[in-house]
């Protein structure tokens, strides 16, 4: 089984839809998109969202349903039930399961863990909406974007002609705060 960095192939018609949504959003920044919900409800969108959620291998939500249990009873029927609820507008997300994780200094961090069915619906929404919003990002934006991290952002060292070092600063596309270094 592959790791998180492995490349995966999205079904071609879903890739085509994603590309056409991105291209349209890029070409017409003020474009309003209608009729996207039908794409969220498509079987192939839900299957891809399920595959992505399963790949993350997350903990079960408040219903304690695991991927193993879903596979045993049939993933296709699980996805069909979600699809039916989405189409008939009867889908309602479950409460999230709260899990406290201890941190240094006696503090705790509370994680909110959605059920697998809710992760599938969230993933389906992401698959359809992400290309539209991705088109609005500046090329130098690196946070919370697919296939980009802040470590990909270009960083340049700037020195004044006087020889005083200004320290490390990011390129103008991705400005970061900096403090002038002390000159020697």
- pLDDT at residue 136, rounded to an integer: 83
What domain range is 166 assigned to? 150-184
Report yes or no on 154 lying in a domain: yes
Please report, for residues 28, 80, 142, the alpha-carbon distance to residue 137 in angstroms, rounded to integers and kept in the order given.
14, 34, 9
CA gap 180, 164 in Å, rounded: 9
Q: Based on the fold, state whether residues 58 and 125 are members of the same structural domain.
A: yes
CA gap 152, 150 in Å, rounded: 5
- pLDDT at residue 138, rounded to an integer: 75
- pLDDT (tens digit per residue) in 28-40: 989 898 999 999 9
Instruction: Tally the domains of the chain.
Output: 2
- pLDDT at residue 7, rounded to an integer: 40
- The band of 177, judged by pLDDT with boundaries at 50, 70 and 90, is very low
């Amino acid at each position: 089984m592959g790791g998180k960095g492995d490349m995966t192939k999205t079904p071609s018609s879903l890739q085509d839809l994603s590309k056409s949504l991105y291209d349209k959003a890029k070409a017409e920044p003020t474009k309003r998109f209608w009729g996207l919900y039908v794409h969220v409800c498509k079987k192939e969108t839900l299957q891809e969202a399920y595959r992505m959620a399963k790949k993350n291998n997350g903990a079960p939500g408040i219903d304690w349903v695991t991927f193993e249990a879903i596979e045993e009873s049939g993933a296709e029927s699980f996805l069909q039930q979600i699809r039916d609820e989405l189409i008939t507008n009867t889908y309602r997300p479950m409460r999230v399961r709260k899990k406290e994780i201890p941190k240094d200094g006696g503090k705790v961090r509370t994680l909110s863990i959605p059920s697998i069915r809710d992760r599938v619906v969230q993933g389906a929404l992401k698959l359809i909406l992400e290309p539209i919003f991705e088109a609005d990002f500046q090329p130098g934006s690196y946070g919370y974007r697919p296939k980009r991290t802040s470590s990909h952002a270009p960083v340049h060292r700037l020195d004044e002609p006087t020889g005083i070092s200004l320290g490390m600063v990011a390129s103008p596309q991705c400005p970061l705060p900096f403090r002038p270094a002390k000159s020697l």
